[in-house]
Amino acid sequence: MTFRIGNGFDVHRFSDDPSRPLVLGGVLFEGHVGLHGHSDADVVTHAVAEALLGAAGLGDLGSHFPDTDERWRGADSLRLLLEVVRLVGEAGWSPVNVDCSTIAERPKLAPRRDEMQDALTAIVGAPVTVKGRRAEGIGGLGRVEGIACLASALIESNATAGSADGTDRSS
């Protein structure tokens, strides 16, 4: 069995528009101002997608879903993640698990962790875990200027033994 790992990082600043919804890991956090971005700016889902693309050697989110493309304006990032999972599968890989560390002074993520994990796990088709960390007041994240997320993804090859990474080495 062949495995590969990938890491993903994303950061979005908070929007100046107080009516913009905050979506993290596919979950709506009511009563909190959202993040600035072309899609719904779901920084957690974007980091998960980046990690999966990286593991499969498929580039980054921006190359697949450019922010100049009107199709993705305000897009539900779970739809983007579903497309990423499809691309990863098409390339011969299945997600094993993804783990995320979200860096946010607020909102508190722990009360919604299960919802985020369930939403992401349902899309990825493998366990996705989400942890929340505060930035301890340090830097822009600590001044509540935005939210960042780091993710690690493990994927395994769908290919059978002898062509474990999908590459035919018989010739």
Which is nearer to Mg ion, 88 or 92 (by Cβ)? 88
Say what angle helices 43-55 and 77-90 make with each other, to 10 degrees.
Answer: 10
Which is nearer to Mg ion, 10 or 130 (by Cβ)? 10
Instruction: Determine how many CB atoms are found less than 10 A away from the CB of residue 28.
Output: 14
C-alpha–C-alpha distance, residues 155 and 30, integer Å:
33
- Minimum Å gap between C-beta 77 and Mg ion is 8
Selected from 6, 8, 10, 112, the binder of Mg ion by CB under 5 A is: 10
Contacts (CB under 5 A) with Mg ion, residues 79-138: none
- Minimum Å gap between C-beta 10 and Mg ion is 4
Q: Please count the residues of this chain forming the interface with Mg ion, following the rule CB under 5 A.
A: 2
Check: CB of residue 119 under 8 Å from CB of residue 76.
no
C-alpha–C-alpha distance, residues 98 and 40, integer Å:
21
Which is nearer to Mg ion, 52 or 92 (by Cβ)? 52
Q: CA 101 → CA 9, 116, 132, 136, distances in Å?
A: 10, 12, 6, 15
- Taking CB under 5 A as the binding criterion, the range among 6-14, 81-89, 113-121, 126-134 that sits at the site for Mg ion is 6-14
Check: CB of residue 88 under 8 Å from CB of residue 56.
yes
Build a one-symbol-per-residue string for 15-54: x at contacts with Mg ion by CB under 5 A, - elsewhere: -------------------------------x--------
Which is nearer to Mg ion, 72 or 93 (by Cβ)? 72
Question: Which tokens go with 50?
Answer: 């980046």
- Contact residues toward Mg ion (CB under 5 A) are 10, 46
